[in-house]
Structure formats: C-alpha cells, structure tokens
Amino acid sequence: MWLICFVILECKISRFLVHFQRPKQNPVIIRDWNDFMPQEDYTAQVWNYEQMPNVPDSDEERRNVIRYHIQKVFKAINMYFLPFPVKVPNQLKSRVFQTKALTPDFTNKFSELTYDLLERIRVPKTADNGEVVMGKHINNITNTHDPKDAQLSFDDLADLYQKSVSQLHEEHGVINFRRHLQHLKELVEYHLVPPVNPDTLESDFNGIVERVEGLLKNILHVSTPVEIRDRLCNDLHSEAKPQLSQLKEENLSVIRGMSAEFVQNCSVAVEREWEIIAQNPRQKDTLKKMIEEKLEEVFSRQIGLSKFNKIITPTIREELFDDLKAQMSRPYAEILEINEDSCEQLIEKERENVRAQATVKWRELDWQSRDHPFTNRELIHLISRWIEDIVFQSKKKLSKQLDSGRLDSYGKTLALELRQMSSGCVLTNLENANSKINLETEECLDFYRNQVLAPQIQACAINVTAQTRELMELHNCLWF
C-alpha cells in the first residue's frame, strides 16, 4: 500500500496556513490496500485519530498530528482507490509493458481519477481568502528539499513541530472540555435536582465541579501544555458559574412553590386538629398552649412527611413556621370565639343545674318550715351556708374550663341569683312562723279556756248555786 498526498511535511503545512489558508479539496490516491477491508473502513482507519498512550512523542501522537493538520489545511480530501493494474505481478517487471495487460477495473478507476483531476484543473480553485490556487502554491507545499537547504534550522523545525503537537492536544483538550462540561450538566441534573438544601447547594455544586475538573485533568494528555490545562480548568469554572446561578434560581422557585403548597396542606391539618380541641371549653391560657403545641406537633409531622425532610434548615423551618402562623391567624381567632361560646354555654348549663338544685332546696326548706319554722337568723345562716357550698362546688367543677377571673365573676353572679331566689323561701318561712304562732296562740287560749277557766267557772257556778239555794231557803224560812 502506498499513499500519495500533496501535503507531506508539517512545517510546510504551517507555512501554507500562514501565507495562503486552506484550498478546498485535495486528492489522495490509494493503491494495494487490503481487498477484504471495505473502502469506508479503510478511509476511517486512515483519517480517524488513534488512541495515544499517555507518554510524550509517541508514534500514535505523530500520526495524529499529521491527521490533524492535514484536515486543517484542506476542507475536503478525495480518496481514490486504484486496484492492482495487472493480474500477474511479474508483468510489471517486463521490459516491454503493453497497455492491454492492464485490468479493466484499473482502467476504469484510473479514468475516473484523471477525469476528475482534469475537471479540477480546468476550473481554477480559490482558497478561503479568495486567492486562486496556482502551481507555485502546490510547489511550495509539496517540495521535499532537505531541511538543511531551507532557511529554518533544526531548532526552528523542532519548535514548529512542538507547536503542532500543542495545537493537536489543545484541540483534543477543547473536545474533552466540552464533553466534561456536558458531563458536569448531567451530574448536576442527577445529583442536584431541586429542591436542594440552599445552605449546602453551592458547596455540593463546587464539589461536583472539582470532581469534573479532576476527571478533565486526568484525561488530558501529558503533552498538553500547562497554560492550556489552566485555561480549560478556568473555563470550566467560568461555565459553571451561570449554571450555579440558574440552579439557585430554580431551587428557590421550587422551594417557594413547595412552601406555598406545604403551608396550605399543613394549615388544613392544623385546623382539623384545632376543631377537635375546640369541642371542649378550656381556659384561655390552656387553650392557647394546647393550640401552639398542636401547631408545632402537626408542623413537625408534616415536615417529616414532605420533601422538606431532607433539605430542612433552621432558616427554612423558621420561614415555613412563620408563614403557617400567618396563615392560621384567622382560624386561631375563630377557635377563640368558638371556645368563648362554648364557655358561655357551659356556664349557662351549670347555672341551670344550680338553679334546679336551689329550687329543690328551697322547696325542702319550705316543707320543713311548715312544721318547724326557722328563726330568721337561723334560716339566713342556713341559706348562706348552702349557697356558699353550692357555689364553691360549681366553681370547682368549672375550674378546669374557666379562667380564675371569669370563674370569680360567675360565682358572684350565681350567689346573687341564689340569694334572690331564696327570698321567697324566707317569706314562706315567715308566713309559716306567723301561722304557727297564731295556731299556738289559739291552742293556748283554748287550753286555758277549757282546761283552766272552765273548771273554775263551773266550780264558782256550783258555789253560787249552792249559796243561792241556801239564801232562798233562808228567805223562805224568814217569810214563813
């Protein structure tokens, strides 16, 4: 196999790039390749970069330098595969060679090549700068004079070659940089999916960047210049900054949306728990304490069940709790009003029960005073003591539901009402006492009349009758 190319020496290529830029096409003739290998595979084998060992100045590196700069010089390279010209190789060694010995396949392929070349020569070609490609340019590129005859020294050639190698590795470094930049985006999308802890977001992101930077440094070839390494690493950090800013904005937006949804769901759960608490009347301080404890309990439980569980911070927790408290301000006032109404209903119910007991008590006292009326002092003392006892028991019963001030006011009001209710009992006792006195007086008078005066009057009447009889008898005796 042999390869004929218009570009041979890299130093000539560099000179051509400086003075002329790139021609549009260049033909490459291939002969005696492996017939079992498809032309496409062979072309790929020629122009595709080889994997270079991570050591300087390797054969693979040299070949890749040539590939790189050839493709930089020419926009397109046409490859012509010519088959072996004769069927019997010994015919080529004959002093007399006849064209009829050429194979039809070679003739056809060679005709295509020459026709294509003639077409390209017929129409002048221009380079990128618009200059017409002339023979002098081709000669300038393809001359293979001894470097000793050139104006460049061996040191200059070595510098040019080293520059060519640096350009190759710079190109590969840029390719690896782009690939690692994409890898950085993929790692960020995989490991830092919002929501993320805002306090650790930047440090986690920088850790991923440092990880990708380490991978990039490890994959760069040892021949890559230090300044290119540093520039690529700096570019990686520069490209990462907008990603970090965008990630922070997305994370903040997601957290805000989650916060609104969390506060809404948590407020519903808290309100449901508060309604259960408000079913029983309680003291204001106790109710407030229970409400706050239930609020914190539901908030902590909802935090554990939500996505905030893994990203919660003291700042986020405080902000969420403040938002929840602001959301629950109206339900909180409603719960206090409900508790106030429940307390009023409880007081009214207890007052009715005490009134019923007082009514029964006053009725008992009325019954007792009918047979044994009380003295006014005794009755008042009995009523006052009973009122004090019943008010104390009622206040003790409501002490867990009512505040002390409200309980004292209730006790005073209840005692006043009971005293007003007892006035009828006092009047009834007075009436019973007066009736009892009148009855006793009548009985005394009857007893005195029947048991004391009647026997005496009867005795006196008998004496008077006896004396009258004696006087009548004496009178009769005197007259007769």
Task: Tell me which residue of 41, 46, 62 sits closest to 2, measured CA to CA.
Answer: 46
Question: Tell me, what's the pLDDT at 125?
Answer: 61
Q: Residues 6 or more apart from 66 whose CB is under 8 A from it?
A: 10
Question: Tell me, what's the pLDDT at 306?
Answer: 85
Q: Is the pLDDT of residue 273 over 80?
A: yes
Q: Side chain identity at 64, as an amino acid letter?
A: N
78-87, 188-197, 401-410, 469-478 — which one is most confidently predicted on average? 188-197
What count of other Cβ atoms lies within 10 Å of the Cβ of residue 85? 19
Mean per-residue pLDDT, 33-47: 72
228 burial (CB, 10 Å; 0-12 / 13-18 / 19+) is: middle
Question: Sign of dihedral through CA atoms 299, 301, 305, 308?
Answer: positive
> Which residues is 77 bridged to in the sheet?
26
Instruction: Tell me the longest C-alpha to C-alpha distance in the chain.
Output: 237
pLDDT digits (tens, 9 = 90+) for 227-260: 999 999 999 999 999 999 999 999 999 988 988 8
CA neighbours within 13 Å on the CB side: how many for 426? 15
The DSSP line for 112-172 is HHHHHHHHHHHS--B-TTSPBP-HHHHHHHH----GGGSSS-HHHHHHHHHHHHHHHHHHH
Query: Confidence class of residue 6 from pLDDT cuts 50, 70 and 90?
Result: very low
Q: Which residue has the higher pLDDT, 273 or 102?
A: 273
389 close to 361: Cβ distance less than 8 angstroms: no
Q: Which residue has the higher pLDDT, 350 or 31?
A: 350
CA neighbours within 13 Å on the CB side: how many for 342? 20
pLDDT digits (tens, 9 = 90+) for 381-438: 888 899 899 989 988 888 888 888 888 888 888 888 888 888 888 888 888 888 888 8
Question: Tell me, what's the pLDDT at 24?
Answer: 45
Query: Confidence class of residue 13 from pLDDT cuts 50, 70 and 90?
Result: very low
pLDDT digits (tens, 9 = 90+) for 437-461: 888 888 888 888 888 788 888 888 8
Question: Tell me, what's the pLDDT at 26?
Answer: 54
Q: Which residue has the higher pLDDT, 58 or 35?
A: 58
Q: How far apart are CA 445 and CA 438, in angstroms?
A: 10
Mean of per-residue pLDDT scores for the chain: 80
Task: Tell me which residue of 318, 299, 307, 300 sits closest to 257, measured CA to CA.
Answer: 307
pLDDT digits (tens, 9 = 90+) for 80-128: 677 777 777 777 776 677 777 787 877 887 777 777 766 766 666 665 5
Q: Which residue has the higher pLDDT, 187 or 129?
A: 187
What count of other Cβ atoms lies within 10 Å of the Cβ of residue 137? 16
Question: Tell me, what's the pLDDT at 186?
Answer: 92
Residue 132: phi and psi, rounded to 5, are -75, 135
pLDDT digits (tens, 9 = 90+) for 325-342: 898 888 888 888 888 888
Residue with tokens 């221009």: 126
Query: Confidence class of residue 51 from pLDDT cuts 50, 70 and 90?
Result: confident
Q: Which residue has the higher pLDDT, 224 or 157?
A: 224
Q: How far apart are CA 251 and CA 257, in angstroms?
A: 10
Report the range of poorest mean pLDDT among 74-78, 182-186, 474-478. Answer: 74-78
Cα 51 to the chain's mean position, in Å?
A: 47
Question: Tell me, what's the pLDDT at 336?
Answer: 86
Helix axis angle, 59-73 relative to 10-19, nearest 10°?
30
Q: Which residue has the higher pLDDT, 151 or 358?
A: 358
Query: Confidence class of residue 179 from pLDDT cuts 50, 70 and 90?
Result: very high
